Copies of this chain bind each other. A is one copy, B any other.
Amino acid sequence: MTRELIQENDVLKLLKSHKSIRKFKETIVEKDVIRTIVEAAQGASTSSFLQAYSIISIHDPEKRQLLAEWSGDQKYVASAPEFLVFCADLHRLNLACSKHGLPYEAGYTEAFIIATVDAALAAQNAMIAAESLGLGGVYIGGIRNNPDKISDLLKLPDEVYPVFGMCLGYPDHNPDVKERLPISAVFHEETYKTPDEKEMDAYDERIRAYYIERTKGKKRESWTESVGTKIANETRPHMKGYLESKKLNQK
């Protein structure tokens, strides 16, 4: 019975079929649809009901152009019908404290984690809501390339930072769903285990084959080669100083 429940479940099918969409039809995403997506985002869990995030929708073409440049020249940031910036937001809670004369100290790493997680949970609900309505999208971590410029552009007060952006629209391509790590590599029982080398090697080769096919031979990296290169390069060493300048993650 369990197996049937699982097989017939459309929500599970949706959750397992996510792919990043970077080419969109010109069809506008109606305001009603965006509102629904944001309401779904608000439905996500939130630490202690703090709701420590904000979502900013950007339509102005000049702003979009700047955002695209500052995110590492990702042109779909300019051209996607909808672009949302998900911010971790402790400013609203600071205001709540002020209202009641409660003591408040900015800068705790813990509060930074709470707000970052709240933004991510809300965003994932938004992505799923969008996909359930036939839209597609992609997260844009690239906005952390220039968080200071983007904070100025969006007039973010202290204690608010842009965690990532999200392009949304009706898909104009249909990429494959990428095969994730073997479940044994991410799922552990009782204690943490280092991934099994043989399973990882086999996964590496499947990802290499996928890239070769997808890029007609231009990209030939295994998973460990690809992510190893990325994590070695994508360090954004400015983030610590930027966050501290916004009174975040200091202590």
Number of A residues, CB within 8 Å of B: 121
Q: Which of B103, B123, B224 contacts A232 (CB 8 A)?
A: B103
Tell me whether A174 is interfacial, beta carbon within 8 Å: no
CA distance A51 to B186 in the complex (A): 8
Instruction: Determine whether the beta carbon of A232 is less than 8 Å from that of B32.
Output: no
Instruction: Determine whether the beta carbon of B124 is less than 8 Å from that of A225.
Output: no
How many copies of the chain does the oligomer comprise?
2
Nearest CB in chain B: distance from A201 CB, A: 9
Chain B residue contacts of A121, Cβ below 8 A: 120, 123-124
Instruction: Determine whether the beta carbon of A192 is less than 8 Å from that of B50.
Output: no
Ordered by A's residue number, 18 sampled pairs between the chains whose C-beta atoms are within 8 Å are: A9-B133, A11-B11, A12-B40, A38-B187, A42-B181, A54-B186, A54-B187, A93-B231, A96-B225, A108-B235, A108-B236, A108-B240, A110-B234, A111-B235, A120-B120, A128-B128, A154-B190, A240-B249
Which of A's residues lie within 8 Å of B, judged by CB? 2-3, 5-6, 9-12, 14-18, 20, 30, 32-33, 35-36, 38-45, 47-51, 53-60, 63, 87, 89-93, 95-97, 99-100, 102-105, 108-111, 113-114, 116-117, 120-121, 123-125, 127-129, 132-134, 138-139, 141, 144, 153-157, 160, 163-164, 177-178, 180-181, 183, 185-192, 194-195, 223-232, 234-237, 239-240, 243, 249, 251
